[in-house]
Amino acid sequence: MKMKQVMGLAAAVLMLAGPGLVWGQQNAAPSKEAPKNTEPRKAGVSPTAADPSVMPKSGEKDTPLTKPGAPEPPTATNAEIKFEEMNHDFGRIASGKPQTHKFKFTNTGTEKLVVQQVRTSCGCTAAALDKKEFEPGEGSTIDVTFNPKGKGVQAKTITVVHNGRNGPDTMLNIKSEVFEPVEVIPPTLQLGDMVRGKARTEHVMVVSEDSNLQIKSIDVNGDLVEAKVASAPPSDVQDARAGKVGIDITFDGNLPVGRFLRVITVKAMASPTAGAPQEEWELKINAFANVVGDLKAEPASIRVPTTNPNTAFSEEVIVSRRSGQPFKIIEATPVNANLPGLEVKTEPYASGDVKGYKVIFSGNTGPTAGIIRGNVLLKTDVAEEPEFRVQFTGMIRDPNVPKGEAPPPSAPMQLPSKQAPATKPTESKPH
């Protein structure tokens, strides 16, 4: 009896709940995807306007179609820019002499022409337009100045950005054959090593198509170098041009040891073209050299191979004189060294034409990882070079760092508290 009561009660509940559940299902809003816009995107319309389904969420911004700060391209109208010529050839022109050409244009359209921008390639400039808007039938000129440099055929472009129907830009072109009215051969002197105490003279030639070429002045930006007009052009420099003048450049033997640069400025008078009056032309000659003393080390510096702490090492160099003259090393000591316990020994050396001393540099790397640097000071009986230095460098590896890896930032190499300033290990500098 009780079971029948329970089942009857459950049936009653289902009958009462059933219609409500069915009503709720029938009236629930169906879950459907928003219809996608399958029409092709129209030019000039942003993605969000063409397809509402990709509208940005609240707080988001639409992605711009152009780079920030870049000017928007002008909207095409029924204006039209027409140039009398699109190309101009300056012909054969002299380097360093600017040339200007006017490109004339007219608005041949039926609406207002707006010239938004004029861009030029390297070596050209365009004068700013007095106005940028032109009514139908109205026009102006774009003045382009070309500053030729060097020599050879050169071409440049000018881009005019506008709102004409033949836009958004129109390209103009200029070209020329650039030549040097006056040249110096060679324009640069790479002298390499120059031994102190030995003067040296180099020869260059100034050339021009003008047979009446003249040198107006010659200046040097430093002492101990003299430049003057030669009695005749150098025979080892060949050139077919009619005008030739030689210049002798002498470097004094007392130039200080070390690298140097001298600039020789030559001003010449020559006609750029046949029949034209002479003009002044300025030329620059750069002279580079490394002045060294009579004493030399081979190799030029001592390099201790990378090794571990508490490791013995020994390296050597041969010191001799370029002149081959005999000399003596009176004393040899390490200076400005950041590694204690270094020892320097010397012994006579002779091999073929080389006679001098073998300088043996040895020691122990000690317990600390870091950089080795300093100099070996040699005192000699050479009057001009009583002291001669050979630089040494090296590295003591931290054994806790795997080979080929740098130490971590948290554990930098420890260097001695006193260390010599870093210097280039590529050459010895006699003093």
Residue of 405 and 371 predicted with greater confidence: 371
Q: Where are the beta strands (DSSP E) in 221-309?
A: 225-229, 243-251, 258-270, 279-292, 295-298, 302-307
- How many angstroms from the chain centroid is the CA of residue 405? 30
Provide the pLDDT for residue 46. Answer: 35
Q: Dump pLDDT digits (tens) for 213-263.
A: 999 999 999 999 999 999 888 887 888 899 999 999 999 998 988 899 999
Segment 141-153 mean pLDDT:
93
Provide the pLDDT for residue 10. Answer: 47
Q: Dump pLDDT digits (tens) for 357-392.
A: 999 999 998 888 888 889 999 999 999 899 999 999
Residue of 30 and 303 predicted with greater confidence: 303
Return the closest-CA partner of residue 426 out of 275, 232, 290, 244. 290
Q: Dump pLDDT digits (tens) for 161-179.
A: 999 999 899 999 999 999 9
Segment 42-48 mean pLDDT:
35
Indicate the Cα dihedral angle 183, 221, 203, 274, nearest 10°: 20
Least confident of 53-62, 119-128, 144-153, 387-396: 53-62
List, edge to edge, every strand of the sheet that includes 182-185.
182-185, 200-208, 243-251, 225-229
Provide the pLDDT for residue 101. Answer: 95
Residue of 271 and 32 predicted with greater confidence: 271
Tell me how far apart the alpha carbons of residues 389 and 395 are, in angstroms, rounded to a whole number.
20
Return the closest-CA partner of residue 389 out of 286, 302, 311, 312. 302
Tokens 């020329």, residue? 176
Tell me how far apart the alpha carbons of residues 204 and 195 are, in angstroms, rounded to a whole number.
21
Segment 187-197 mean pLDDT:
92
Quote the DSSP letter at residue 53: G
Q: How many residues does the chain have?
A: 431
Provide the pLDDT for residue 366. Answer: 87
Check: CB of residue 360 under 8 Å from CB of residue 346.
Answer: yes
Q: Is a pLDDT exceeding 80 seen at residue 326? A: yes
Q: Which helix (H) or strand (E) holds 17?
A: helix 2-27
Average pLDDT taken over every residue of the chain: 80
> pTM for this one?
0.58
Q: Is a pLDDT exceeding 50 seen at residue 273? A: yes
Tell me how far apart the alpha carbons of residues 396 and 366 are, in angstroms, rounded to a whole number.
9
Q: Is a pLDDT exceeding 50 seen at residue 21? A: no
Q: Dump pLDDT digits (tens) for 194-223.
A: 998 889 999 999 999 999 999 999 999 999
Tell me how far apart the alpha carbons of residues 74 and 129 are, in angstroms, rounded to a whole number.
18
Indicate the Cα dihedral angle 105, 109, 114, 117, nearest 10°: -50
Q: Is a pLDDT exceeding 50 seen at residue 53? A: no
Tell me how far apart the alpha carbons of residues 53 and 81 are, in angstroms, rounded to a whole number.
42
Q: Is a pLDDT exceeding 70 seen at residue 293? A: yes
Provide the pLDDT for residue 316. Answer: 94
Q: Which helix (H) or strand (E) holds 49?
A: helix 47-50
Q: Is a pLDDT exceeding 70 seen at residue 59? A: no
Q: Is a pLDDT exceeding 90 seen at residue 65? A: no
> Which two tokens mark 45?
């319309």
Check: CB of residue 341 under 8 Å from CB of residue 362.
Answer: no
Tokens 């004068």, residue? 127
